[in-house]
Structure 1
Amino acid sequence: MSQYPTLPAFDALVLAGSRAEVDPMALIDGYRHKSLIEVSGQSMLERVVTALRQAGAKRVLVSCNHPDVVARALELGAEIVQPAGGPSASVLNALDKTDRPLIVTTADHALLQSDWVVSLMEETPRSADFSLMFARSETIEKAVPGSKRTYYKFADGSWSGCNLFYLRTPAARAVFELWRSAERDRKKPWKLVARLGWRNLFDYLSGKLTAAQAIARVGDRIGVRASVVCAQDGLAAVDVDKPEDLEAVRLMLAPQAPQVALG
């Protein structure tokens, strides 16, 4: 039985695809895939799958076709979903495999905690179709001083994504259809702007929108009730993209770990 009995039944998807046959990050430790890199005695994949199960996920799906990752995921009791042409298409593929609400995260979210997943679900309004977790820059700086993250500037400050998404109703599918279009049109930015709305872009660039307002407006454009959940722990915005990230995460998880800065 889940330790969070008030949550609705849900499944979880771990995106573990790779754009290259051999990930340069993985080669640091001699692995063939980044998600298999060990952090504090466990692969990043295992840490993520474990956190999702502790949050109460009924099924954990792993989107990957790398044989080593597939083998490890099956050992962990996860199910395999074939990846598609990019993360958004992979999410859409996974949505065809479940009829429950879906939590989506990535295999390099090595610090993932079950409490973050629970907070995302509990703090998402019951009227919402979709939500995502953002962390404020000051919250991240408090957790990892000197961290260099990608920030989005809104009227209520600078925010960074946490690679945690909650697809609460089937309507959330439209979010990833829009994302897939954005990936397809990445060399034609005017098409993306047209989909999002010129007024929305102008208001964002003018600093008139809060993070919640911006996400809600994008949702309105595609018929989705979308919301933002604010992370209470700045570590929720940390993933392992670079060697210095890996080193810092390992230090954080080491016994009696000191505070470290992420590059």
Structure 2
Amino acid sequence: MESRFPESKRTFTRMRDGAFSGGDLFFIGRRSTKTNLELIRGLTTRRKNFLSQARLLGFVFIFRFLLGLMDITEGAKRVNEALGINGRVINYPRAEIGMDVDKLSQYLLVKSELEKV
């Protein structure tokens, strides 16, 4: 991400097996959405505050994460267990999936990239 879009200032989460950035790409089934609506709202409200999200996941999660003992697979497993969901991590190799366009600077960066095509 940083080499492809050096001006993006994307946030990365450091895990034992690397640094990861979210792609904000989700598929949530209708039944799961209805069942977990309050949880989904809570997580999206806290989307820019990892520690606030982590509190939902418990002390062991926070402890292992902060000490760098958790890899991405364990993190996904613990999130699934804590939230009662069946989510998966997709380690996508292209930076474009992680590029937001919710700020003017990001929009201008993406626009300039698209104009090159």
Contact 2:76 2:87 in 1 (8 A): yes
**1:222–1:173 distance in 2 versus 1, CA, 3 Å:** farther
| Paired residue secondary structure (1:158) | strand
Once residues 52 and 95 of structure 2 are traced to their aligned partners in structure 1, the CA distance between those partners, rounded to angstroms, is 34
- Residue 209 of structure 1 corresponds to 70
TM-score (norm 1): 0.37
Q: Read off the aligned partner of 1:225 and give its amino acid letter.
A: N
Equivalent residues in 2 for 1:90-239 (5 A)? Answer: 140-168=1-29, 170-171=31-32, 176-182=37-43, 193-239=54-100
TM-score (norm 2): 0.76
String of CA shifts for 1:111-143, please: whole Å, max 9, x gaps.
xxxxxxxxxxxxxxxxxxxxxxxxxxxxx1232
The unaligned stretches of length 5 or more in structure 1 are 1-139, 257-263
| Paired residue secondary structure (2:24) | strand
Which structure's relative contact order is higher, taking Cα pairs within 8 Å and 6+ residues apart? 2
Contact 2:8 2:106 in 1 (8 A): no
Q: Read off the aligned partner of 2:78 and give its amino acid letter.
A: R
Larger Rg computed on CA atoms? 1
User: CA shift at 1:195, angstroms?
Assistant: 3.0
- Residue 87 of structure 1 corresponds to none
The unaligned stretches of length 5 or more in structure 2 are none
**1:146–1:221 distance in 2 versus 1, CA, 3 Å:** same
Contact 1:185 1:192 in 2 (8 A): yes
Once residues 246 and 184 of structure 1 are traced to their aligned partners in structure 2, the CA distance between those partners, rounded to angstroms, is 22
**If each structure's strand is expressed as a fraction of its own residues, which one has the higher value?**
1
Equivalent residues in 2 for 1:12-91 (5 A)? Answer: none
**1:234–1:167 distance in 2 versus 1, CA, 3 Å:** same
User: CA shift at 1:222, angstroms?
Assistant: 2.3
- Residue 79 of structure 1 corresponds to none
| Paired residue secondary structure (2:25) | strand
Q: Read off the aligned partner of 1:220 and give its amino acid letter.
A: E
**1:162–1:184 distance in 2 versus 1, CA, 3 Å:** closer
Contact 2:57 2:82 in 1 (8 A): yes
Q: How many residue pairs are counted as aligned between the two chains?
A: 115
**If each structure's helix is expressed as a fraction of its own residues, which one has the higher value?**
2
For the aligned residue pairs, the C-alpha RMSD in angstroms reads: 3.1
Contact 2:80 2:87 in 1 (8 A): yes
The percentage of counterpart residues that share the same residue type is 27
